[in-house]
Each structure stands twice: as structure tokens, then as C-alpha cells.
Structure 1
Amino acid sequence: MIQNHRYVFVGGLHRSGTSLVARLIAGLPGVGAISDAPVPENEGVYLQGAIPHTAMHGAPMHFATDPAQHHTEGTRYDTLETRLRIEADWEPHFGPGHWRVEKSPVNLSRMRLYQQLFPLSQFVVVIRHPEAVSAATAKWVDLAPDEMLNHWLDAHEIVARDLRYLHSALVLRYEDLVSDPVRAVSCLAAFLQVAAMPTVPEVYEGNQRYVGQARLSRGQTRRAHSWGYGPGMQIYPTELKVSHALRSVREQVGACFSAALQRPPME
């Protein structure tokens, strides 16, 4: 059966802003989303039975560095049967649209597999300051702040390696989104080659409530610098991370963030 839709997969660590980004993408013209599904946050991972997902899978501050949950090309789920089962399980839940946006945090560790299963898919990786993510996730896990910060850093080093294998991927920082939602949504529209949203919903900045609850050490700061993050919830301009087969799309997306292309020197 020939499919007339493409997927845009949104992934990121828990509390990074993936739900917010998925809702904004779903508001773009020609984008269908999962809605009113009997699962948490309308996440597609719960609606498919091709890849097991239990309480041991997708756990906050765990899944992204678990080798058993890092699904790539050529691994056990890289099969036609997996693709057909996922498509069949998701089909009843998606609204109409040429694009289908599916958001599950675990997409962060499945991008290379999903690219194999759905070759025309595109990926949006949502990241947020590690201090904010650690503080916001603390209510769910019994880890010290330093352990959670290291998990963020380890997870995003894996993401950085995986990005090299993806044909179409965009890294969107939560902080860039909340500082200029109109620009960020225009960037997402350019990435998907659809019209921009007529009006962008109001977006609130949530990092300040977590200031002082976790702090990057000097060594951790060096590791976080490539993402534009520093201690004390500092945010630096950083190079936009985007890939796409069409140079025109890369240039349009880059123009959306033209004010944030130069990294500051390390201290």
C-alpha cells in the first residue's frame, strides 16, 4: 500500500519541551497529529506493539543512555514487519494531513531506526538547559543532581553522534523557542516546507522556576558548551544544528536563527 503521508518525529529528554513543540507543529497547515488517544500525552510509543514499551522502557533519566533502547539501522527491529505493525497501530489515531507529527521522548534514541523504517521522515530534537531538565525531573527519580546532569550530557553526546546519520533533522532549543516563538515556529514550518502558522499561541518561559536547584560543574560546563549552555542557567548563542537534503531548506531554516550562529569562546 502506497502511503501519502510523511512523519516528523519529535524527541527529547523528559521535561525538555517535546509536548509543546509537537503541539506547535500540529498547528501548522497540512499536519495531522494523534489526539484524544487513551495514552499519556498522546504519545505514539504507547499505541504501537511492534517495539516493546513497558515501565522499564522510556524511564526518565534512564532510557537515553540504555544501550538496549538505542535502536539503529540493522538492529532487530529494522524489518518490514515492524514498519507495517507500527503503521497499522497508528493509523486509527492520526488526524488528516500530508505530515504526521508523532511525539514520544524515546524517539530520541530511535531516530536512526525510524529513518530506516520511514525513509522520508524528518526529526526534531528538543533540548533544554540541563539544570532545568534535572530540576524538573527530580520529582520522578531518586538521583542526585550531579548524576542527572551527567545523564543529560551523556545522552546528548549519543544524540550528537546519531545526528550525523540523519538526512533531515533539526535541533531546537527550548530557550530559543520561548524567547521568540514566532521565529521558532517559522523555522519549523520552513523545515517541513509548509506555510507558517497564522498566529502563534502564547508560550511561557519556565526555566527561572528551577534556578539554583542544580548547577553544572566546571567539567560539566565544558561538555555542555557545544549546546550553548552554562552554569547558573546561562544560555549562549550557538551554531544551529540542521540537516536536510535540500540546500534551500537548510538556508531558510538557518535564516530563522540568523542571530544565533556564533558560539562564544570558552572561559
Structure 2
Amino acid sequence: MAFSSQEYHKQVTKLMRNQQAKKALKLCNDWVARYPREALAHLMQGSLLRQRDPGKALPALATAVRLQPANPEPRLQLIECALAVRDYAGAAAQLDALTGQMSAQQIERAAGLCQRLARIPRQRDLLLVLARANALRPPLWFNLAEAEIALGNVREATAIYRKLLEANPRLQKAHFELARLERDPDTPHLAQMETLLASLGPDDNSVFLHYAIGKKYEDRGEHARAFEHYLQGGAQAKASGNYAVDADLRLVETIIAQDWQAPSVASAGHPVPIFVTGLPRSGTTLVERLLSNHPRVDTINETFFFQVAMQECAGLPPLAMPEPDTLPRALSAPPEKVGARYRQLVSHLLGDGDYFVEKLPENYLYLGAIAAALPGAKLVHVNRHPLDNALALFKQPFFRFAYDLDDLAAYYLAYHRLIQRWREMLGERLVEVSYEAFVGDPEGQARALFDALELPFDPAVLDLQSNASQSNSASAVQVREPVHQRSAGLWQQYREPLRPLLDALAQAGVVDAEGNLPD
């Protein structure tokens, strides 16, 4: 039976509403065949196809976009499907072309896509449109604050968290984020958080609140009280996540046990990747900001794309952190395929620079695989005093292996063994930066780093506050300040409560009995 286009729309919509997707798709196919220039037909066909296979929906949605380029809905769905099949470059190109009047729901979706594709300025602008129209849902205020921080707008982010707390003083995540931004130790915020903590029952989750209160006590120089709150926050976080460090240790030991061969060094291709790695909180963001302040160097911030490339090329479903049981298979993927796929995955993030920085600290796990897959890549490892680095991890709720001192000691020693393995294998190709040396002599250390990377030194790189590029790191606030030494040696303020950690590291020879580095 021949239908008008409007009747096809009516019948397909009815079938979809009755959850008869198979019949709806069959009728939609007839609609497209009879009315090939009807954008709505292609859009609905794509919407139905994506429920089964997002890749098969791409041609239909692309046709809908071509027929109706000013309609945001087909393009939004096309971007979502491109992301589902990990075509990040295609998704980014469509996002950059997204125009037209959008509903509040569409603006919210577009902002989420901007976040996934690292278009943070546009994400911020879209969320502000919703905020000004009083259409920004409460959870998205956190996204707006995070975007402001990534762009260096600390004052705006602070105002957002205070606004959230005015509306709901029990929002622990807002207390935590506000405490991270505050520098004044004498604000009434600490008393407000302690009042809230006192009102909670023994079974109430107070993880973020403990870490926030700990930070405020540290700001006041009350380190014993700060440590007690970090300890309680970590204990709760570990218990609620049912975490055991064994799997993370097995992952590291699996990597160490691989039959690594020293990879050849070859032409890097263009642009040249610079991988900045190290334990989290070791100073990797500081080094990334320094490098990306150079006129020939771009930054792609932190991505999991190398891990994704390894797993894809090994025929594995990509996870941000590979499982210990499947890791050997991922590490055995053909290096040249991994390198090529990695370049595809990051292409939407690149600018016009001759170099780009990839700063995911945990890439220290894969330095051997990176060296093989990208023979010309520059490899940087940032060192920090073990006890300062461990303390910095312990003070944050983001690192599950650092929730208690025993787990933290075990993980740090595994990391130390792996780095020793990479040093033996990579030799001078592994460029090492000492955090303490850098904050003590920024210019001298920066000159040495650029020399090791075979890049001309530009004194302007030392003006880190002028670096306007977005930063998605947990250290995004600190790195917009002048270089300082206030965190160097901070562990000594916690010497007694850190004694179990100090003893474990000393027994392994990482430090001596007083916490000094070996000669």
C-alpha cells in the first residue's frame, strides 16, 4: 500500500511507541525507498538502526544531515553513533559543524558531547545558556564548575559551588570541590562541614566530607587532625568499594614479567608525540603545562587512547584499564597497528604544532609498549620524593590503591620495580624529570628537559600562568599558579602517622630509615 510521507511517519511512530522496532524498521525502509529526499525518514531509520548497531545507523543519519543541515537532531544522533564506534575524528567534525536552534534537552546533549570530545570552551558556553534560562539541572552545575576550572576560571567555579551549597548545604561533593579551591584557612567553611559531619549517622557515607575537612585542617597547619580525616575518608572509600589491591599489583607484575625487548628508535612521524608519565600527583601536569607553553607544542591533556588502541588491535573490548588476565594479549598486539590506531584516535585533538603532549600519568604502565608502537615518540617520566608523592595520593579520594597505607606501600613498591625495568630497557630514551629539582630551579631544569627532547628552549615557557589551554587534570588549579615549593617536603609534617609507609619503603631500599633518598 502506498502511503504519503506523513502517513509513513504516523505509522512508524505508532510502531515505535508500541515497541515493535522490527516492524517499524521494515516500514521505515519502505518510506526511505519511496521518499529518498525526506530527511525525517532517514532520521527515523537511523534512530531505529542505532538500537541494534550504531555503525549501521551512520549512513542514514549522514543522509539526514545532508538533507537538513540546520536541524540539530540528525547531527546530534550522528555524533552519538560515531562516538559509539570510536570514530572520534568524525564525531568531532560533526560537532564543530553543529548549528541551529536547539531545545534545552538538545543543548544538554550537545554539552555532554563537547565534554567527551574535549571541546571544553563550547561545553561551558552551552551550559551557561541553560543556566541563564534556569534550565540547568542540578547535577550539571558540577559539570559547569569543572569546565570553568579546566579553563582557569577559579572564581567562577567557586561561585558555583557556593551557590550549590546555599541551595543544599548537605552536598558533600560541593563541599569537597570548594575546599580544594579555597586558599584562605580561616573561612567559615570548615565549621560548616564539621557541623554537617556531626549530623551524619555511623552508616552514612562521608568520604568526600572527610577529605575536604582534612584539606582545610592542612591549610591551617593542623596536620595531625588533617591526617585523621584522610585516614577515615580512605577507610570508608575502601570499604564502600570492596577494593583489594591485589588486582592492581597483579597488573603491574604482569607487565614486568613480559619479555620486553629494547625497541628501535625511528622517525617519529608528524606531529611527534611526547608522553609525560609518572605516578599521579608526581608533577606530570606541571611538566605538561611547561611543554605545551612552547610555540611548537600542543597538548591533548589526558586520554586513554593508547590503552584503547592496544586492546582494539588485539581484538579485545577496550577498557580504560585493561584486566590483568587479558593484558598479555593487549601488549602483544602488532606495534605498528597500535601506533597507527593511536594516531587516528587522537587526531581530533591535535592542533598545528610539530609536537603534542599526551599526559596520562598511568601511561607509565605502558612505556615499553608505547616505545615499540611509536618508535620516535619522546618518553618523559616525572619523579617525586616517594613519601611526598605517596602523601599526595593518600590525601585524595580518586586513587583506590592509596586508600590505606598498607595498600599504598605495596603499590608504590610495584611501581618502583616497574620503573626500574623501564630504565634498564629504555636507557637514555626515557627522559627523567625530578619534581623537587624543577621547583627549586625551574629555568635550569626546563633547559635540560628541552635539550633532552631536542627542542629549542624558549624562556616564555616558564610563564605557566600565561598558558591558556584547557587542563582536565586534578591539578588544574595549582598549575595556573606560579611555580612554588610549598609541597616539597610536606611529608615531614606527617612523619609519625606515615611511619608504617616510611618503614615499608625503607625496608625495600627506596628511602633510608629517615626518609632520605639513597645516594
Q: How high is the TM-score relative to the length of structure 2?
A: 0.38
- 1:72-91 Cα shifts (integer Å, max 9, x gaps): 9xx33334332222111101
- 1:92 aligns with one of 332, 341, 348: 348
1:192 and 2:448 correspond: no
1:166 counterpart SS class: helix
Matches within 5 A, 1:216-235: 216-218=501-503, 220-221=505-506, 223-225=508-510, 229-230=511-512, 234=516
Q: 2:488 aligns with which of 207, 216, 220?
A: 207
1:19 — aligned with what?
285
Aligned pairs for 1:122-137 (under 5 A) are 122-137=378-393
Listed as ranges, the matches of 1:228-243 within 5 Å are 229-230=511-512, 234=516, 236=517
Q: CA deviation at 1:147?
A: 2.9
Higher relative contact order (CA 8 A, sep 6+): 1
Residue identity (%)? 24
Is the CA contact 1:29–1:195 (under 8 Å) kept in the aligned structure 2? no
2:303 maps to what in 1? 44
Q: Choose from 299, 306, 310 the match for 1:33.
A: 299
| Larger of the two Rg values belongs to structure | 2
**Structure 1 residues 187, 29: CA separation in 2 closer, same or farther (over 3 Å shift)?**
farther
Deviations 1:231-257 (A, max 9, x none): 6664x5x7xxxxxxxxxxxxxxxxxxx
What CA distance in whole angstroms lies between the structure 1 residues aligned with 2:287 and 2:327?
23
Amino acid at match of 1:220: L
In the alignment, is the contact (CA less than 8 A) between 1:9 and 1:103 conserved in 2?
yes
Corresponding residue for residue 53 of structure 1: 319
RMSD: 3.0
Q: Deviations over 1:165-197 (max 9, x none)?
A: 225111212111111111111111101111213
DSSP 3-state at the match of 2:455:
coil
Aligned residue pair count: 216
Tell me the distance in 2 between the aligned counterparts of 1:171 and 1:70.
27
Deviations 1:202-236 (A, max 9, x none): 312213444315244445225354xxx556664x5
Q: Give the direction of change, closer, same or farther, for the CA distance of 1:112–1:14 in structure 2 (3 Å limit).
A: same
Q: CA deviation at 1:155?
A: 0.7
Deviations 1:71-118 (A, max 9, x none): 99xx33334332222111101202222222111112101111111111
Normalising to structure 1: TM-score of the pair?
0.69
Q: Tell me the distance in 2 between the aligned counterparts of 1:119 and 1:195.
A: 21
The correspondence of residues 140-155 of structure 1 with structure 2, limited to 5 A, is 140=397, 141=400, 143-155=403-415
* Correspondent of 2:438 among 168, 177, 181: 177
Instruction: Decide whether the 8 Å contact of 1:150 with 1:220 is kept in 2.
Output: no
CA contact (8 A) 1:6 1:98 kept: yes
Instruction: Name the CA distance, whole Å, in 1 between partners of 2:484 and 2:325.
Output: 35
* 8 A contact 2:277–2:360 mirrored in 1: yes
Distance 1:5 1:14, change over 3 A: same
- In structure 1, what residue type is equivalent to 2:483? V
User: Can you give the 5+ residue segments of structure 2 that lack an aligned partner in the other structure?
Assistant: 1-267, 312-317, 464-481
Distance 1:67 1:163, change over 3 A: farther
Conserved? CA contact 2:284–2:382, under 8 Å? yes
Do the aligned residues in 1 keep the contact of 2:506 with 2:512 (CA within 8 Å)? yes
Partner Cα distance (1:45, 1:111) in 2: 14
Q: How does 1:56-71 map to 2 (within 5 A)?
A: 57=321
Superimposed CA distance per residue, residues 6-61 of structure 1 (whole angstroms, 9 cap, x where no aligned partner): 21111111111111111111123422212xxxxxxx3122587424333xx28xxx
* Distance in 1 (alpha carbons) for counterparts of 2:325 and 2:284: 22
* Unaligned segments of structure 1, at least 5 residues: 35-41, 239-262
Instruction: Check conservation: 2:274, 2:358, Cα contact below 8 A.
Output: yes
Q: Does the 8 A contact of 2:335 with 2:369 survive in 1?
A: no
Contact 1:71 1:113 in 2 (8 A): no
Summarize deviations over 1:93-150 as a string: whole Å, max 9, x none. Answer: 0222222211111210111111111111121111212222222222323632243133
Structure 1 letter corresponding to 2:338: T
From 270, 274, 288, give the equivalent of 1:8. 274
Alignment-mate amino acid for residue 166 of structure 1? L
Structure with the largest fraction of strand: 1
What CA distance in whole angstroms lies between the structure 2 residues aligned with 1:179 and 1:149? 27
Read off the aligned partner of 1:207 and give its amino acid letter: A
- Structure 2 CA distance, aligned partners of 1:67 and 1:175? 37
